[in-house]
Chain A
Amino acid sequence: MATHLQKQIEKIKKEILSLGAMVEDRFQKAIYAIKVEDLELAQKIIDTDFQIDEREIEVEEECLKILALYQPVAMDLRFLVAVVKINNDLERIADYAANIAQRFKTSSQNKAKFKYDYTAMADQAAKMLRMSLDALVHLNVDMAYEVRDMDKDVNLMRNEAYDSMKRDIRNQPEMVGDIINMYLISRHLERIGDHTTNISEEVIYLIEGEIIRHS
């Protein structure tokens, strides 16, 4: 029979997973809004970011409560520490989604005609996020290592966006402000990739007990 602590931990697991799904939905919608030029959708993402912030605080408080009441050790302790950090990464990813929406909004106010398709890059980042959370739930260390390796693809795509937009600035110097804004979206996606890498590294810590960050 599961102890009370294990039930609480199962509950936290569900909450962090549901928060992860919400966050993934947001940044994919932000990219979709750019693709179909849906300003209303972009505005909605910006306006509802507070929902993620509230959920982040709920998860953190729940973890702190369990740490204080049960003083967990070993695997349970590592799980809760990992969740506190992953929770923070998810909140940051949602912030980037709101930033992406904001940049799109700013560019369209200037009636920019400039566009860049970020679908592939966003798909890759979303896949990394999903896999890192799957790795957390199923304690799959191989999957976590895989996510870590995938980060370089996202970095590569950011570089491609950079080269492409450098050419665009040369060709349309009057658009420089908007192009920089669009470039920064690739930077946000790249940062989202970094946060999913952090999540996978937390999962590796949780399973193997070794901190592999910065190595």
Chain B
Amino acid sequence: MERHIKMYTENLDFFYGNSQALHDISIDFDENRVTALIGPSGCGKSTYLRCLNRMNDLIPNIKVKGRAMLDKKDIYDPSLDVVTLRRRVGMVFQKPNPFPKSIFENIAYGLKVNGVKDKAEITRIVEKSLKQAAIWDEVKDRLNESALGLSGGQQQRLCIARALAVAPEVLLMDEPASALDPIATQKIEELIAELSSRLTIIIVTHNMQQAARVSDRTAFFYLGKLIELNDTDTLFTKPELKQTEDYITGRFG
């Protein structure tokens, strides 16, 4: 099968002030595939994820070296519009963070910011996004109620719907199910499988079984370095490096 690389980084270094958090990270992300980033706390996987839509720009005193490319264009090019980048590369966070607004407004907000004015069009996209995020049936009769009244799992799917509304090409997920119960987690995982047919997904997770279930490829990070990048099946049955083996089998530090 011919690979189409949606996004890649090449020799990416990242610094918080003088402290180097990422060393020489090169990863290709295939289009419409799921890549999982695993590793112990502080290994740099979330920092790396945030480099991919320049979320780290908001932190003072940071420095990025190397290249991060989306459709062969450098996302750190000074002429690039960061708002457009973040529309194309959406993000879902660990804790569901709906706006203190109605369910409908949560989804419509991003559309309005992006200049969509036609009400019928907005209504159509809100419904479509909620359906894609597998939450439509649960909220269709209460679209004008506050999003804060939803359960944690519903709020997280709402946030996924909000990210999907602006039609991203890549979706970054930072521990999207870590605050959820097993049933809500299962729904998110099924959603990832469903979305991966039309979206490139990069997910950071502490739950290794989750990485094994949802992803096609897995990257293992340790101390800011990429240790092993492999097909998920191989990484979890027969990793190439002892360091990976020690981490995933819990024989670590």
A residues at B contact (CB < 8 Å): 3, 5-6, 71-78, 209
**Which of A73, A76, A77, A209 is packed against the most chain B CB atoms within 10 Å?**
A73
Task: Return B38 CB to nearest CB of chain A, in Å.
Answer: 11
Residue interface mask B230-253, A partner, CB < 8 A = 1: 000000111100001100111100
Sort A-B residue pairs by CB-CB distance and give the 6 closest, nearest first. Answer: A209-B238, A73-B236, A73-B248, A74-B245, A3-B250, A71-B209
Q: When the two chains form their complex, are residues A74 and B238 in contact, meaning their CB atoms are under 8 A apart?
A: yes
With an 8 A cutoff between CB atoms, is B43 at the interface? no
User: Please, could you name 23 A-B residue pairs with CB atoms under 8 Å apart, sorted by A?
Assistant: A3-B250, A3-B251, A5-B249, A5-B250, A6-B251, A71-B209, A72-B249, A73-B208, A73-B212, A73-B236, A73-B237, A73-B248, A74-B238, A74-B244, A74-B245, A74-B248, A75-B245, A75-B249, A77-B237, A78-B237, A78-B238, A209-B237, A209-B238
**Which of B208, B212, B244, B249 is packed against the most chain A CB atoms within 10 Å?**
B249
Assembly CA distance A77 to B209 (angstroms): 13
Contacts of B209 in A (CB 8 A): 71
Assembly CA distance A50 to B208 (angstroms): 40
Kindly report which residue of chain A lies nearest to residue B252, judged by CB atoms: A3
Contacts of B208 in A (CB 8 A): 73
Chain B interface helix/strand/loop/mixed: helix
Contacts of B244 in A (CB 8 A): 74
Assembly CA distance A164 to B250 (angstroms): 57
Contacts of A3 in B (CB 8 A): 250-251
Assembly CA distance A5 to B251 (angstroms): 10
**Which of A72, A75, A78, A209 is packed against the most chain B CB atoms within 10 Å?**
A75
Contacts of A71 in B (CB 8 A): 209
Contacts of B251 in A (CB 8 A): 3, 6
Residue interface mask B196-231, A partner, CB < 8 A = 1: 000000000000110010000000000000000000
Kindly report which residue of chain A lies nearest to residue B208, judged by CB atoms: A73
Task: Return A75 CB to nearest CB of chain B, in Å.
Answer: 6
Assembly CA distance A6 to B252 (angstroms): 12
6 new A-B contacts at CB < 8 Å, known A6-B251, A74-B236? A5-B249, A73-B208, A75-B245, A75-B249, A77-B236, A77-B237
Contacts of A6 in B (CB 8 A): 251
Assembly CA distance A72 to B237 (angstroms): 9
Contacts of A5 in B (CB 8 A): 249-250
Assembly CA distance A75 to B250 (angstroms): 11
Task: Return A82 CB to nearest CB of chain B, in Å.
Answer: 12
Task: Return B247 CB to nearest CB of chain A, in Å.
Answer: 10
Task: Return A191 CB to nearest CB of chain B, in Å.
Answer: 30
Assembly CA distance A209 to B239 (angstroms): 9
Task: Return B193 CB to nearest CB of chain A, in Å.
Answer: 19
Contacts of A73 in B (CB 8 A): 208, 212, 236-237, 248-249
Contacts of A75 in B (CB 8 A): 245, 249
Contacts of B249 in A (CB 8 A): 5, 72-76
Kindly report which residue of chain A lies nearest to residue B209, judged by CB atoms: A71
Kindly report which residue of chain B lies nearest to residue A205, judged by CB atoms: B238
Task: Return B204 CB to nearest CB of chain A, in Å.
Answer: 18
Task: Return B54 CB to nearest CB of chain A, in Å.
Answer: 34
Kindly report which residue of chain A lies nearest to residue B239, judged by CB atoms: A74
Task: Return B189 CB to nearest CB of chain A, in Å.
Answer: 14
**Which of A3, A74, A76 is packed against the most chain B CB atoms within 10 Å?**
A74
Contacts of A74 in B (CB 8 A): 236-239, 244-245, 248-249
Task: Return B36 CB to nearest CB of chain A, in Å.
Answer: 13
Task: Return A211 CB to nearest CB of chain B, in Å.
Answer: 11
Task: Return A66 CB to nearest CB of chain B, in Å.
Answer: 13
Kindly report which residue of chain A lies nearest to residue B238, judged by CB atoms: A209
Contacts of A72 in B (CB 8 A): 249
Assembly CA distance A74 to B243 (angstroms): 12
Kindly report which residue of chain B lies nearest to residue A77, judged by CB atoms: B237
Kindly report which residue of chain B lies nearest to residue A81, judged by CB atoms: B237
Assembly CA distance A6 to B248 (angstroms): 13
Assembly CA distance A209 to B236 (angstroms): 11
